[in-house]
Amino acid sequence: MRFVVRRLGFFVLTLWAAVTLNFLIPRLMPGNAAIAMMSRYKGHIQPQALHAIEVAFGVNTHESLVHAYFTYLGNIARLRFGISLTFFPDQVTHQVLQALPWTLALVGITTILAFVLGTFIGLISGWRRGGMLDGTLPPLFVITSAFPYFWIGLLAIWLFSIKLGWLPESGGYDVQTNVAWSWSFVSDALTHAVLPAFTILITAIGGWILTMRNNMISVLAEDYVRMARAKGLSSWRIMWTYAGRNAILPNLAGFAMSLGFVVSGAILVEYVFNYPGVGWMFLQSVENQDYALMQALFLLLTVAVLVAILAADGATAVLDPRTRDRS
């Protein structure tokens, strides 16, 4: 129980840190971003929008910084992120909710797939060390894991869309199809997802393969694996229940830690493919200086990482009785 409470406390603290960064960064930057922006927008946008900026950044409200901070915290706690400039006069929350499913479907599924597949390949290649698989995949993926995500995306577009014409080059679906749960829409969305998913998959998978392989090799030198051999268990049983199950535990912890990396890669992939998800919207908001939307999305990305960590914690608790006892 204490473990769970501490973990939850940590999550709250991290969220608080992210919110505070959101609040502080624009106020600490040299030259007030909000004022600069307002002078640029004056006369171009509706007065309500201008007022929204004023409220969001505490310009012209004569509030003290501390007071403004608590007002800000209160608004965030009630999920009031303000009004989006890009999609004026739509609420930020509404916009975010529209983009979220796309990203969950694309990035969520491919990330889990990359983790499962990479862990599996790493497990096999660590188990059959020096074999064919071990000789080819890990060295290959050391190199691909250093490739920039977006550049792989560019190449994929060039090859499969421009040159070969097999797959659409951008967007999440064909604008001519109706957005509905119909077969034509779903298949269209899937076709659009193939290239970005492929890009994320091949750049993200390398890390999992390498760490799992190395964990596996360390675990294979453990006494309990030798004991399992001494007991005359089948190789299959030793590989999964004795070596694999123990080797995957550090990989789960690693999953949580490197998720930030995956998220940043996914943002760029969505950007390259104009994929209508959270990452694309995030960069869109940066470009349009739509700070309210940007802040909300940054917070959402933090929450996404925290949720993934929670899932990894849960999986660890299922696999490892020692963590169960601590909780």
Partner 1 sequence: MTAVTAAEPAATPGPEPPLGAARRGYGADLWNAVLRNRKALVGLLMLLFFVVLATFPGQIAPYNPQATDFLPGLGPSRAHWFGTTAYGQDVLSQVIWATRQSLLIAFAVGGLATVLAVLVGVSAAYLGGIADGTLSLLTDVLLVIPIFPLIIVIAAYEKNSGLGMLVIVLGALGWSYGARQLRSQTLSLRTRDFLESARVRGERRIYVIVCEILPTMTSLIVATFLGAALYAVLAAAGLQFIGLGDPNSQSWGTMLYWAENNEALGAGMVLWAIMPGICVAALGAAFALLNYAFDEISNPALRMRRLDRPIDGARGDAVPAVPPAPDRILEVRGLTVAYATDGDPVIAVDNVDFDVARGEFLGIVGESGCGKSTLLYAITRLLGPPFAGEIMSGHILFQGRDLVSLDERQLRHLRWREFSVVMQSAMNALNPVLSIEAQMRDACKAHSNMTDKEIAARSREVLQLVSIDPIHLHSYPHQLSGGMRQRAMIAMALLFTPDLIIMDEPTSALDVVAQRSLMVQIKELQQRLGFAVVFVTHDMSLVGHFSDRVLVMYAAQVAELGRTRPLFAQPRHPYTRALMEAFPSIHGPNARLTGIPGSPPDLARPPAGCRFAPRCPQAMARCHEGVPPLHDVEGDLVRCVLYDKGAVPEPTLVQAS
Identify residues 13-42 at the interface with partner 1 (CB under 8 A).
Answer: 13-14, 17-18, 21-22, 25-26, 29-31, 33
291 binds partner 1 (CB under 8 A): yes
Cβ-based neighbours of 206, under 8 Å, separated by 6 or more: 118, 140, 141, 142, 144, 145
x/- site string to partner 1, residues 125 to 154, per CB under 8 A? ----xx--------x--xx-xxxxxxx--x
Nearer to partner 1, 189 or 199 (CB): 199
Residues 6+ away with beta carbon under 8 Å from 222: 246
Q: Which is nearer to partner 1, 118 or 189 (CB)?
A: 118
Instruction: Provide the minimum distance between the beta carbon of 2 and partner 1 in the complex, in angstroms, as a whole number.
Output: 15
Q: Contact between 166 and partner 1 (CB under 8 A)?
A: no
Which residue of 76, 107, 189, 309 would you call a contact of partner 1, by CB under 8 A?
309
Closest CA to 280 of 268, 264, 292: 268
Q: How far is CA 150 from CA 22, 81, 167, 254, in A?
A: 26, 29, 17, 23
Residue 43, by phi and psi: left (phi above 0), alpha (psi -120 to 50) or beta? left
Residue 165 near partner 1 by CB under 8 A:
no
Applying CB under 8 A, the site for partner 1 has a residue count of 85
* Residue 131 burial (CB count, 10 A): 11
Kindly tell me which residue out of 98, 191, 274, 289 binds partner 1, with binding defined by CB under 8 A.
Answer: 289
Residues 232-251 that bind partner 1 (CB under 8 A): 232-235, 237, 241-242, 245-246, 249
Closest CB 17 distance from partner 1, rounded Å: 5
Assess 260 for contact with partner 1 (CB under 8 A): yes
Shortest distance, position 277 Cβ to partner 1, whole Å: 13
Give Dmax (Cα) for the chain: 81
**Contact region for partner 1 (CB under 8 A) — 60-68, 99-107, 111-119, 257-265?**
257-265
State yes or no: residue 65 binds partner 1 (CB under 8 A): no
Window of 41-49, 94-102, 183-191, 299-307 that interacts with partner 1 by CB under 8 A: 299-307
Residues numbered 201-230 forming contacts with partner 1, rule: CB under 8 A: 210, 214, 217-218, 220-224, 226-230
Q: List 83's β-bridge partners, or say none.
A: 91
Q: What is the DSSP string of 48-117?
A: HHHHHHHHHHTTTS---HHHHHHHHHHHHHTT---B-STTTTSBHHHHHHHHHHHHIIIIIHHHHHHHHH
